[in-house]
Structure 1
């Protein structure tokens, strides 16, 4: 599959795909005799993984380390698992913080007309 096909299928720019490969966020993609990237289903799996993890806010550094360890083989399974555990824990903290912010906003919105509008009007008059 060409980079253009993968870009359309995975909804990710060709530049981002090249960047992900260049920095080691996905393993190197095999190339045709003419040097054109030829993405396999395995490559698509790595791209899906990277997109999902980046979408969740997982650091590029952690993902690069994970991919590098994966390429070293089964001796790194424990370390790779620990990276995922650490990233999950960080994500849970972020979700908790965001949930607190959402609760705060919802409370503010519930009382906006009664409390906030009069306060804002008073501030505007000063």
Structure 2
């Protein structure tokens, strides 16, 4: 990766819009993104790494407030590792619970699919 990425390159890499990138900045998740002398945003590798983790956490249901807290902890440095671990452990536990619920619901749906196929195929009863 070059020293800096443009907003377009970052948006393409993570399949997000420019508006999403600006939202993450305004929400305090990305913090202040550096600008070139011409005023254009330019993302450093640390910004891109954080955004990669932020997208993972967001796609797994972490609320923006928690993302902001996590990003603040990352920016605060090595002294916050235990707090970051705690936040991620809590999120992982919540994610595990959601996966269990979704798995049970998926089994229910698959049972209905099998039932309706049996009706269609005349093998019910």
Judge same fold: TM > 0.5, yes or no. yes
**Is 1:15 aligned to 2:19, yes or no?**
yes
Deviation beyond 2 Å, 4+ runs, structure 1: 113-116
Q: TM-score, normalised by structure 2?
A: 0.84
Task: Give the alignment partner of residue 36 of structure 2, picking from 27, 32, 36.
Answer: 32
- Output the CA distance in 1 between the equivalents of 2:8 and 2:61: 26
Corresponding pairs, count = 117
**What is the aligned partner in structure 2 of residue 47 from structure 1?**
51
- 5+ residue gaps, structure 1, are 117-126
Partner Cα separation in structure 1 for residue 84 and residue 91 of structure 2 = 11
Structure 2 segments unaligned to the other structure (5+ residues): 121-125
Q: How does 1:26-105 map onto structure 2 within 5 Å?
A: 26-105=30-109
TM-score calculated relative to the size of structure 1: 0.83
Offset at 1:84? 0.3
- Larger helix fraction of residues: 1
Tell me, in whole angstroms, the C-alpha distance in 2 between the residues paired with 1:37 and 1:50: 19
> Contact 2:35/2:42 (CA < 8 Å) preserved in 1?
yes
Higher alpha-carbon deviation: 91-100 or 25-34: 25-34
CA deviation vs aligned residue, 1:22-81 (integer Å, no higher than 9, x gap): 111123211112221111222111111111111111221111101112222222211111
Q: Which has the larger radius of gyration?
A: 1
Separation in 2, partners of 1:5, 1:73: 27
